[in-house]
Chains A and B, each alone.
Chain A
Amino acid sequence: QSALTQPPSVSGSPGQSVTISCTGTSSDIGTYNRVSWYQQPPGAAPKLMIYGVSNRPSGVPDRFSGSKSGNTASLTISGLQAEDEADYYCHSYTSSNTYVFGTGTKVIV
């Protein structure tokens, strides 16, 4: 069960938009909509930002949005703010009846 592939880092200025990709296979992202995204600031526990590919839990700003095309899921942060600087991980269910996380992306503001 290989980790989903994410870029090591993305950067943007305040107010800009950044998009994080998460590439899997037809055995995970390509088939299932159980794709979620997590934000993890340094030294803190992860926080759910997106579930079911594109759904935002209550309390998560609408600047965060998720989508999927083929075997790749994406998280977009619009109107980037300093507080968005953190590590971000994608997560998916797989056809092996397991789950897998992405390699993680550091967002630099």
Chain B
Amino acid sequence: EVQLLESGGGLVQPGESLRLSCAASGFSFSDHAMTWVRQAPGKGLEWVSTISNLGRTTLYGDSVRGRFTISRDTSKNTLFLQMTSLTAEDTAVYYCAKCGENCGGLDFWGQGTVVTVSS
């Protein structure tokens, strides 16, 4: 059974940093690209970042490029999102998701971790 378990969310002040983790199990982690998606309170889904199966290629949304860094540790089956220079607009539930073939769809999702940026 595929499982994705996010952690690392919390309350931080504007300008601070936070690192999210996503522990994956139930599938061959190194065979699949992975993605972070976020959802601000009462808003729609926003694609944040995608990393290729071996980590050689990383893609970012305009709103986070230059501030967020996606990475993965295939030895620990874990996906990361390092977030810096956080603002109130980054407040959201952050989901990690597994890419299907050719990342034509996100076929499994975690339950999300909440990030709140507030002074």
Contact = CB atoms under 8 A, between A and B. Distances in A.
B105 A48 contact: yes
Interface in A86-100: 87, 89, 91, 93, 97-100
A46 interface: yes
Contacts of A48: 100, 105-109
A34 B106 CA distance: 11
Contact of A52 (B37, B95, B105, B108): B105
A25 to B, nearest CB: 16
B25 to A, nearest CB: 16
Contacts of A100: 47
Interface in A67-99: 87, 89, 91, 93, 97-99
Contacts, number: 76
A93 B50 CA distance: 11
A3 interface: yes
B67 to A, nearest CB: 16
B104 A51 contact: yes
Given A50-B105, A99-B103, A101-B46, 18 more contacts: A3-B44, A38-B106, A45-B109, A46-B97, A48-B105, A48-B106, A48-B107, A48-B108, A51-B104, A51-B105, A51-B107, A87-B44, A91-B47, A93-B104, A98-B47, A98-B59, A99-B59, A104-B45
